[in-house]
Structure 1
């Protein structure tokens, strides 16, 4: 017959395992809406995501594509040199947002248009998010910033 000490040890280990599994499940459930994957325009065109999937897209704002509509509605295209995705956004753009500059947007891809809920732009003339740099390098259109 097992000693009382061994039984207690098995019970404690079992309870700890159940608690660990429950905590992991709760963390995964809480983060299900908080994880946004990054995609380049080429990836979005090659494999369009589901209309209800929230993700981030990044690249350069295509020159000549920025159109300010009625009120706060803005439309433009984002490119990585290999693909172009039209974007619509309702809100106020960051001060440093302009054509031929890097941007990252969060939103959904519906009927061939990325509907952004958030737009981020560079915060100085040299900075560009790593994901955007990687996507532009992959397409062969990345230019190193001037060192001056």
Structure 2
């Protein structure tokens, strides 16, 4: 084999290895990618059952029902709501009217089966994604952010328009 053919073969082998490594990395990244949706986004985008994503919003007043370790509640963005079912121990800060982010997937009946539920940090905090979806839905007022700053809360924290 000549030097030129050997060099060409090494370059080809290197490109094949680089392509394989890139494909493997992209596949692993895609498997771990979890999108965030509000209940309105889920309805608008027709998220497929079984596809894992994060659902954020407020726990709807009067919707929490406990049956042993299984808890059923609705998550709302004040425009639409989505039923959620979670089996496990809820965070201490979980309660009606408060911000929540749940990770899981829709089942065939349209219920979000959560595998993890995260509650907000205090009565004034809301995940930025939830606040953004409230702003998009027109249910947000900027006055709340100013009120929170006056009360000494960090500027990066946000609250829903209905918070008093």
1:45 aligns with 2:43: yes
1:101 equivalent among 90, 98, 107: 98
Q: Is the 8 A contact 2:100 2:118 kept in 1?
A: yes
Q: Is the 8 A contact 2:49 2:110 kept in 1?
A: no
| Shift of residue 96, structure 1, vs aligned partner | 1.1
| Shift of residue 76, structure 1, vs aligned partner | 0.9
1:87 aligns with 2:84: yes
**TM-score normalised to the size of structure 2?**
0.77
Deviating runs (4+, > 6 A) in structure 1? none
Measure, in 2, the Cα distance between the counterparts of 1:142 and 1:64. 22
1:22 corresponds in structure 2 to 20
Return 5+ residue gaps in structure 2 as ranges. 152-164
1:74 equivalent among 54, 67, 71: 71
Q: Is the 8 A contact 2:84 2:112 kept in 1?
A: yes
Measure, in 2, the Cα distance between the counterparts of 1:83 and 1:128. 18
| Shift of residue 92, structure 1, vs aligned partner | 0.7
**TM-score normalised to the size of structure 1?**
0.85
Return 5+ residue gaps in structure 1 as ranges. none
Aligned residue pairs total 144
User: Over aligned residue pairs, what C-alpha RMSD do you find?
Assistant: 2.0
Which one has more relative contact order, counting CA pairs under 8 Å at least 6 apart? 1
